[in-house]
Chains A and B, each alone.
Chain A
Amino acid sequence: MSDELLSQDEVRAALRGYFADTGGLDEARRLRDAPADDPGYDAGRWKALAGDVGLVSMAAPEGAGGLGLGLVHLTAAAEEAGAVLYAGPLRASVLAAWALGSAEADFDGVLTGAETVAMPQGFAALQPGLVLDGDGLVGGSVPDAAHGMTADVLLAIADTAQGPCAVLVRLGEEGVTRTPVAATDLTARPAALRLDGVPAVRLTAPGDRAALGRVGDAARLLLAAEQVGGAQGCLDHTVAYARIRTQFDQVIGTYQAIQHRCAETAIAVSAARALVFTAAVALDAGAADEAHRLVLLAKAEASDAFEGAAATLIQVNGGIGFTWEHDAHLYYRRAKATAAYDGRPSRLRDEAVASGALALLTR
């Protein structure tokens, strides 16, 4: 089984090592001052992550040339990427590879990282702006496709006569219009995509809401995992500063008010991480209903944890934390934006209860 092949801890350690060796936050920091038409990430670094580290192929099913690792592993990777505000197309690419199972067309380029993937920021909201016709051609628009300016492939949801399905669209020259869109999260470079009769491959059967829901849950969960990582990143930076900054002749990290604020953040991050983990286990096990409820709760908790941790990062840093030069606003911006994508926490909690979350109490 895949668990013996590579443990979640090993994936985590590999990604952590990779980001530590390659400058961590540098890429996000560079984007802070980059022009609007900047592709949004370092292509060489992405290829190394996807190909050399094997991040994308490990997500793909064994039949499609991957390791068939599950969401337990992918969420660990997404957490590490989130901690350094990684701006590359990680979430879209691993999600596409993970969902590749039934696609007939050749997407080897996606697995090696040679072809990059775009996806709507709020994929799991399941509101298709695209229509797939009987000839396999897709038309319509995606208003905020992450990595949309440069991506080779789009992962999205399209309506058909039989109902919605997930599709992969190859974004060639013909019939594709890309327009940059301003975003609060400076590490995201979304584009509005207009498609007009572009060939698409179906990843789920039209009208198969269960299969589509599974992809949506995976998308939302990977976003939640990135948020947990983002919150962890905030905590790490907060603690690092609290250990060296002196006020009133004392290192501020010795004050109980600061210690408790950091500890409360650590507890919130641990709770969100645990929810993401248990939701991933349920999704991997194919327990669809249970997984759906857990994913909703995990995303809500992860949003709260990230927003809280980003606020704490700014407060503990004091005035410097509110400047353009400091990384804090990069975290804060992503925290605020990702808490809105795929549903604000209050909305998700309401949905979770409506879909029977009470049953999780006694599972």
Chain B
Amino acid sequence: MTETSTAGLAAFRAEAEEFLRSIAGGFAADEAARARRESDRIASVEELGEGHELQVERVRNLQARLFDAGLAWPSGPVDCGGRGLGRDHDQVVDDLLAELGFPSREVLFVGLHIVAPALDRHAAPELRARMLPALYRGDAIGCQLFSEPGAGSDLAGVATRAVRDGDGWVLTGQKVWTSMGHLADVGEALVRTDPDAPKHAGMTMFLVDMRAPGVTVRPIRQMTGGAAFNEVFLDGVRVPDAHRIGAVGEGWKVAGTSLGSERKTMVGDDGPVSPYALGRLAALVERLGAADDPVHRAEIAGTVASVVAMKAAAELPEGAWGSLGPASGSVLKMLMTRAVDRMAGLAGEVLGELAFTDSGEPDTHAWAEFVLGAPALHLAGGTDEIQLNIIAQRGLGLPRPPKPARQTTEARS
């Protein structure tokens, strides 16, 4: 991380604020942003409502303005449209955008925080130089094509095949749980290129054009009622070799970069424990006077502690992690799910039946959606059980279980 002087950061903030204020007018009228401010809705997992296509276009437009002004990726390398500044500069822009009421950039989350890190670290110079600016400018929305119906927790069990064909590859198979897949321009696809190699060694990562012939995207309706993820069918999709991310057979390593980045990002302000949700929860507890009720105090304290612990853990100095360092992303993800569970538990407890039957009263039934979304977070980004395996094996150094006689299942770690 680049160190920054306080004065430098203040100057940057002033510059960013001046620019953002100059364009705020165009976005303050944003219907989706206003709906978010005025609506009662509160969710722990993303959902896309009606008219979201318009919202997506506005976010793309905003991101392009930010990029052209050098504010989309302050910490990024200069050759890819960044400014080579410290990560605290990214935070300054995020904070200002929230303060000034700009629309949420959630639709860009996967591309920026999961796909981009893999490209930055593993892609060939040409692909990297072309795609990173595209993602950061909002020209390309990214999605992640990792999970499959037969390979969720056992991610190394992916069966989607890529076969060499001249200067490219042909992909065939099915992916699932693809957030934003129906909006995405590109997908980061983990596929099997050598069925005879050991499970983890036979995979390769590609960047797939989601508009290419043979790609079919079908939304899946969630238990909360909305739809934000999809099934993706790859039927003889041609991908040029230049769109390979990392070496042939090293897909697992590339996936590790994306997954580690995802887990760490989930505890940030863009994750489910957002300043918006926290503000709403604090206001709810306050409005109901729950802190004065001895019955609720333990739950309030536990919720506050879990939220603070999650945020503070992300700031811990390196030495505080000790040998746990390589698994810190999994620890952070577990702290995030615990915080969300606590938040959902507290909201449900203080509201009681008000949360679950719609009386029309604002800020009551709205919390049911938050409560219903919580289970998804235990699954997304790797299940609790997988995170515990990673913590035990990679963080604590416990031995991996012996392989069954016929290699069928294996913890993803």
Write the chain B residue with the least CB distance to A11.
B319
B309 interfacial contact with A, CB 8 Å: yes
Point out the residues of chain B lying under 8 angstroms from A354, CB to CB.
291, 297
B306-351 interface with A by 8 A CB criterion: 306-313, 315-322, 324, 331, 334-335, 338
Bound-state Cα–Cα, A359 to B286, Å: 10
Cβ of B291 and Cβ of A251 under 8 Å apart? no
- Give min CB distance, B305 to chain A, whole Å: 4
> How many of chain A's residues have a CB under 8 angstroms from any CB in B?
50
Question: In this assembly, does A239 line the interface, its C-beta being within 8 Å of a C-beta of chain B?
Answer: yes
A352 contact from B301, B316, B387, Cβ within 8 A: B301
Q: Which residue of B lies closest to A349 (CB)?
A: B301
Interface of B is mostly: helix
Q: Which residues of A contact B364 (CB under 8 A)?
A: none
Q: Which of A148-164 contact B (CB under 8 A)?
A: none
A-chain residues with CB within 8 Å of residue B311 when the two chains form the complex: 278
Check A9/B402 contact, CB under 8 A, given A266-B396, A267-B335, A352-B301.
Answer: no
Whether A239 and B398, one on each chain, are in contact in the complex, defined by CB atoms closer than 8 angstroms, is yes
Residues A97-144 near B (CB distance < 8 A) = none
Q: B305, A301: Cβ atoms under 8 Å?
A: yes
The smallest C-beta distance from A119 to any residue of chain B, in angstroms, reads 26
Which residues of chain A have C-beta atoms less than 8 A from B312's C-beta?
274-275, 277-278
- Residues of chain A with a CB closer than 8 A to B391's CB: 263, 266-267
Measured between alpha carbons, how far is A270 from B309 in the docked complex, in Å?
A: 8
Say yes or no for B303: interface residue by CB 8 A criterion.
yes
Contact mask for chain A residues 224-255; partner B; CB cutoff 8 A; 1 contact, 0 none: 00000000100100010011000000110111
Tally of contact residues, B, Cβ under 8 A: 53
Task: Report if A297-B320 is in contact (Cβ < 8 Å); known contacts: A266-B396, A350-B294, A362-B282.
Answer: no
Q: Quick one: which of A1-34 are within 8 Å of B by CB?
A: 7-10, 12-13
Q: Is the CB of A362 within 8 A of B275?
A: yes
Residue numbers in B under 8 Å from A287 (CB-CB): none
A294 CA / B387 CA spacing, docked (Å): 28
A259 x B304 contact (CB < 8 A): no
Contact, CB under 8 Å: B300 / A270: no
* A350, B301: Cβ atoms closer than 8 Å: yes
B388 sits at the interface (CB 8 A): yes
Q: Give every chain A residue within 8 A of B401 (Cβ-Cβ).
A: 254-256
**Roughly how many angstroms separate A297 CA and B297 CA in the complex, as a whole number?**
12
Are A8 and B317 in contact (CB-based, < 8 A)?
A: yes
Main secondary structure of the interface of A (DSSP, over half): helix
Cross-chain contact A270 with B313 (CB below 8 angstroms): yes
**A353 partner residues in chain B, CB cutoff 8 A:** 291, 297, 300-301, 304
Interface string of B369-413 (1 = CB under 8 A from A): 000000000000000010111011101111111100000000000
Contacts A243-B399, A362-B279 given; does A275 touch B303 at CB 8 Å: no
CB of A329 within 8 A of chain B?
Answer: no
- Cα(A339)–Cα(B393), bound, Å: 30
Of all chain B residues, the one with the shortest Cβ separation from A293 is B304
Given A256-B401, A266-B396, CB of A271 within 8 Å of CB of B315: no
Q: Is residue B354 within 8 Å, beta carbon to beta carbon, of the partner chain? A: no
Evaluate contact between A239 and B397: CB separation under 8 angstroms. Answer: yes
Give Cα distance in the complex from A260 to B319, angstroms.
23
Nearest chain B CB to A355's CB is how many angstroms away? 10
Is the Cβ of A270 less than 8 Å from the Cβ of B278?
no
* B399 and A253 contacting across the interface, CB-CB below 8 Å: yes
B304–A357 touching, CB < 8 Å: yes
Nearest residue in B to A265 (C-beta to C-beta)? Answer: B396
Contacts of B304 in A (CB 8 A): 297, 352-353, 357-358, 360-361
Measured between C-beta atoms, what is the minimum distance from A239 to chain B in Å? 5
Distance to closest chain A CB from B278 (angstroms): 5
CB proximity of A84 to chain B, nearest CB, Å: 14
Q: Is B220 positioned at the interface, with any CB of A under 8 Å from its CB?
A: no
The yes or no answer to A272 lying at the interface (CB within 8 A) is: yes
Q: How far is the CA of A10 from the CA of B306 in the complex (A)?
A: 28
For the complex formed, measure the closest distance between the CB of A270 and the CB atoms of chain B, giving whole angstroms. Answer: 5
With A12-B320, A362-B282 as known contacts, state yes or no: A262 contacts B313, CB within 8 Å: no
Q: Judge whether B278 and A346 touch: CB under 8 Å.
A: no
Q: Are A358 and B300 in contact (CB under 8 A)?
A: yes
Cα–Cα distance between A161 and B313 once the two chains are bound (Å)? 44
B309–A349 touching, CB < 8 Å: no
Q: Does A71 contact B (CB under 8 A)?
A: no
B217-252 at interface with A (beta carbon < 8 Å): none
Chain B contacts for A357, CB-based, 8 A: 300-301, 304
Which of A235, A263, A359 touches B388 (beta carbons < 8 Å)? Answer: A263
Which residues of chain B are within 8 angstroms of A211 by Cβ–Cβ distance? none
A260 in contact with B392 given A253-B399, A271-B306 (CB within 8 Å): yes
In the complex, are the beta carbons of A8 and B319 less than 8 A apart? Answer: yes
Which chain B residues in 267-299 approach chain A with CB under 8 Å? 275, 278-279, 281-282, 285-286, 291, 294, 297-298
Q: Which residues of B contact A13 (CB under 8 A)?
A: 319
Do A297 and B398 have beta carbons less than 8 Å apart?
no
Whether A12 pairs with B319 at a CB distance below 8 angstroms is yes
Partner of B320 from the list A253, A277, A359, A362 (CB cut-off 8 Å) is A277
Q: A350–B402 contact, CB under 8 A?
A: no
Q: Which residues of B contact A301 (CB under 8 A)?
A: 305, 309
A274 to B316, Cβ gap below 8 A? yes
In the A-B complex, list the 9 residue pairs whose CB atoms are closest, starting with the nearest. A9-B319, A349-B301, A259-B392, A278-B312, A274-B312, A274-B313, A263-B391, A271-B309, A263-B388
Interface residues of chain B, those whose CB is within 8 Å of chain A, are 275, 278-279, 281-282, 285-286, 291, 294, 297-298, 300-313, 315-322, 324, 331, 334-335, 338, 385, 387-389, 391-393, 395-402
19 CB < 8 A contacts A-B: A8-B317, A10-B319, A232-B322, A239-B396, A243-B397, A263-B395, A267-B334, A270-B309, A270-B324, A271-B310, A271-B335, A273-B313, A274-B308, A277-B317, A294-B308, A297-B304, A357-B300, A360-B304, A360-B308
Q: Given contacts A267-B334, A267-B338, A271-B335, could you give 14 more A-B pairs where the C-beta distance is less than 8 Å? A: A232-B322, A253-B392, A254-B400, A256-B389, A260-B392, A266-B324, A266-B396, A270-B335, A272-B309, A278-B311, A278-B312, A349-B305, A358-B300, A361-B307
